[in-house]
Structure 1
Amino acid sequence: MNQADQQLRTVVVEREFAHPPEKLWRALTQPHLIEAWLMKNDFLPVAGHRFKLSADWGSVDCQVEEVEPLKTLSYTWSAMGLESVVTWTLNPTDKGTRLRMEQAGFRQDQEQAYRGAQYGWQNFFKQLEQVVAAA
């Protein structure tokens, strides 16, 4: 690992949802549901699929890296100089599902993007909770 790799930072958000993994998986992989909590998109849960997330402020170029239904979803997240990878991990619990989101790849000089992601993902998780509860 070179020095630059060691300086990369990661944003992690974990939350317990009182819903089964199937319900969360749908919200993470169905375009109309993704749009309801994250952004407009042309997502398909297929490894290698390139897709775009679009918002008022611009867009994010993504590519699906890994799909393991009901367990793991991973995709690249490229926007405004940030090259990162978002990984979702679902773990069933007695009460529902523990959902972990990890966005890795923030360089030391990307403080604004890093802080923005910390704030942004908290909001996305709140919206996700509402979408999952209503779905």
Structure 2
Amino acid sequence: MTAPATAPQTRSVVIEREVPYPPEKIWRALTQPHLLAEWLMKNDFQAAVGHRFDFRGDWGSVECMVLEVEPHRTLSYSWVAMGLDSVVTWTLTPSATGTRLRMEQAGFRPDQEQAYRGAQYGWTQFLAKLEQILAGIPV
């Protein structure tokens, strides 16, 4: 008798920040294509479950599909690029000083160490840009 097959363990990149802005303002930066392009990549995003879109950078593109939309709270989309099949989930939780922003990219296989490390670095840079963009968005 053999043991049941188990899915290979995957890892997630998680970044959490306390951001001094209301969830509604952050939501705009996460869902409006022109704002997304300023801090992440060019895109044809729409906040509609099932919408397929691409993020485009100088190095190539990421194929995505919107999986979950709960305005001002949760946004989730698939993120498929260069052999990586993952899911990015944004969670916004109101706090006393603004919003607790959580980004998780889940689905890195053990053999994707370079992609995992690249995502850790990349998302840290993207979130720093996001905070700069948020500072300039009117309430």
Same fold per TM (> 0.5)?
A: yes
Q: Classify the secondary structure of the residue corresponding to 1:46.
A: coil
Report the alpha carbon displacement of residue 3 of structure 1 after superposing the two structures with TM. Answer: 3.1
2:113 is the counterpart of 1:111: yes
Map of 1:13 onto structure 2: 15
TM-score, scaled to structure 2: 0.94
2:84 is the counterpart of 1:102: no
Map of 1:134 onto structure 2: 136
Runs of 5+ consecutive residues of structure 1 not aligned to the other structure: none
Report the AA paired with residue 24 of structure 1. Answer: I
Runs of 4+ in 1 over 4 A off after TM superposition: none
Residues 1:14 and 1:2: Cα distance change in structure 2 (over 3 Å):
farther
After superposition, residues 1-135 of structure 1 pair within 5 angstroms as 2-5=5-8, 7-135=9-137
Rounded to whole Å, the distance in 1 between the matches of 2:63 and 2:79 is: 6
Runs of 5+ consecutive residues of structure 2 not aligned to the other structure: none
Identity %: 67
Residues 1:20 and 1:81: Cα distance change in structure 2 (over 3 Å):
same
Task: Number of aligned residue pairs: give it.
Answer: 134
Report the alpha carbon displacement of residue 74 of structure 1 after superposing the two structures with TM. Answer: 0.1
Report the alpha carbon displacement of residue 4 of structure 1 after superposing the two structures with TM. Answer: 2.9
